[in-house]
Amino acid sequence: MGKRELLSQIDFGQRIAEEEGAALAEYFVETDNWQRLVRGEIDVVYGPKGSGKSALYSLLTTRANTLFDQRVFLTPAENPRGTPAFSDLIADPPISEHEFVSLWKIYLLSLLSAVFDEYQIGGARAAEVRAFLEKEGLVKGKSDLRALLKRSLDYVKSFFRPPAAVEYGVKIDPYTQHPIGVTRKITFAEPSAEDAKEGAKSVDALLLLANEALITDDYGVWILLDRLDVAFAENAELEQNALRALFRVYLDLGALDKVSLKIFLRDDIWHRITQSGFREASHITRAVTISWDRSSLLNLMVRRIVHNQPILEYYNVAREEILETLKNQELFFYRLFPDQVESGSNKSSTIDWMIDRTGDGTQQTAPREIIHLLNTLRARQVERFQLGQPEPEGDLLFEQATFKEALVEVSKVRLMQTLYAEFPALRGLLEQLRGKKTSQTAESLAALWKMSLQDAEAKADELVQIGFFERRNKAGRPEYWVPFLYRDALELVQGSA
d(CA 414, CA 463): 15
Q: List, in order, residues 6 or more apart from 434 with CB less than 8 Å away.
A: 490, 491, 492
Amino acid 178: pLDDT: 42
Residue type (1 letter), 397: L
Contact 213, 123 (CB under 8 A): yes
What mean pLDDT comes out for the span 181-194? 75
**307 has pLDDT over 80:** yes
The secondary structure of 87-153 as a DSSP string is: GGGTTS--SSHHHHHHHHHHHHHHHHHHHHHHHT--SHHHHHHHHHHHHTT---SS--HHHHHHHHH
Amino acid 75: pLDDT: 94
**18 has pLDDT over 90:** no
- Confidence label for 1 from pLDDT (cuts 50, 70 and 90): confident
Amino acid 174: pLDDT: 54
- Confidence label for 171 from pLDDT (cuts 50, 70 and 90): low
Which residues does residue 167 pair with via DSSP β-bridges, in sequence order?
A: none
Please tell me which of 42-56, 152-166, 167-181, 188-202 the model is most confident about, judged by mean pLDDT. Answer: 42-56
Residue type (1 letter), 347: K
Contact 64, 128 (CB under 8 A): no
pLDDT, tens digit, 9 for 90 and up, residues 232-265: 776 778 888 889 999 999 999 999 999 999 999 9
Q: What percent of the chain has pLDDT over 90?
A: 64
- Confidence label for 21 from pLDDT (cuts 50, 70 and 90): low
- Confidence label for 352 from pLDDT (cuts 50, 70 and 90): very high
What mean pLDDT comes out for the span 314-326? 96
- Confidence label for 27 from pLDDT (cuts 50, 70 and 90): confident
d(CA 26, CA 38): 17
Phi–psi pair at 473, nearest 5 degrees = -110, 130
What mean pLDDT comes out for the span 2-23? 84
pLDDT, tens digit, 9 for 90 and up, residues 430-452: 999 999 999 999 999 999 999 99
Least reliable range by pLDDT among 60-69, 84-93, 295-304, 420-429: 84-93
Q: List, in order, residues 6 or more apart from 152 with CB less than 8 Å away.
A: 103, 106, 107, 110, 138
What mean pLDDT comes out for the span 461-466? 94
What mean pLDDT comes out for the span 295-303? 95
Amino acid 183: pLDDT: 55
Mean of per-residue pLDDT scores for the chain: 89
Amino acid 182: pLDDT: 47
**26 has pLDDT over 80:** no
d(CA 212, CA 47): 34
Tell how many helices (H) and how many strands (E) occur in the chain: 25, 13
pLDDT, tens digit, 9 for 90 and up, residues 359-373: 999 999 999 999 999
Residues of each domain in the chain carrying CATH 1.10.10.10:
424-496
**220 has pLDDT over 60:** yes
What mean pLDDT comes out for the span 444-466? 95
Amino acid 142: pLDDT: 64
d(CA 393, CA 351): 19
Phi–psi pair at 470, nearest 5 degrees = -105, 125
What mean pLDDT comes out for the span 116-124? 89
- Nearest CA to 33 out of 290, 366, 294, 295 is that of 290
**179 has pLDDT over 50:** no
**162 has pLDDT over 70:** no
Least reliable range by pLDDT among 22-31, 56-65, 412-421, 436-445: 22-31
SS3 state of residue 20: coil
- Confidence label for 272 from pLDDT (cuts 50, 70 and 90): confident
Amino acid 456: pLDDT: 96
d(CA 220, CA 218): 7
Amino acid 196: pLDDT: 81
Amino acid 167: pLDDT: 43
d(CA 303, CA 485): 24
**181 has pLDDT over 60:** no
- Nearest CA to 287 out of 47, 30, 25 is that of 47
**72 has pLDDT over 70:** yes
Output 394 or 164, whichever has higher pLDDT: 394
**463 has pLDDT over 90:** yes
Q: List, in order, residues 6 or more apart from 189 with CB less than 8 Å away.
A: 202
- Nearest CA to 11 out of 370, 317, 299, 374 is that of 374
Contact 299, 2 (CB under 8 A): no
- Confidence label for 89 from pLDDT (cuts 50, 70 and 90): confident
Amino acid 177: pLDDT: 44
Which residues does residue 441 pair with via DSSP β-bridges, in sequence order?
A: 479
Architecture of the CATH domain 424-496: Orthogonal Bundle (1.10)
pLDDT, tens digit, 9 for 90 and up, residues 124-137: 999 999 999 998 88
What mean pLDDT comes out for the span 176-181? 46
Contact 228, 104 (CB under 8 A): no
Output 476 or 115, whichever has higher pLDDT: 115
Contact 108, 258 (CB under 8 A): no
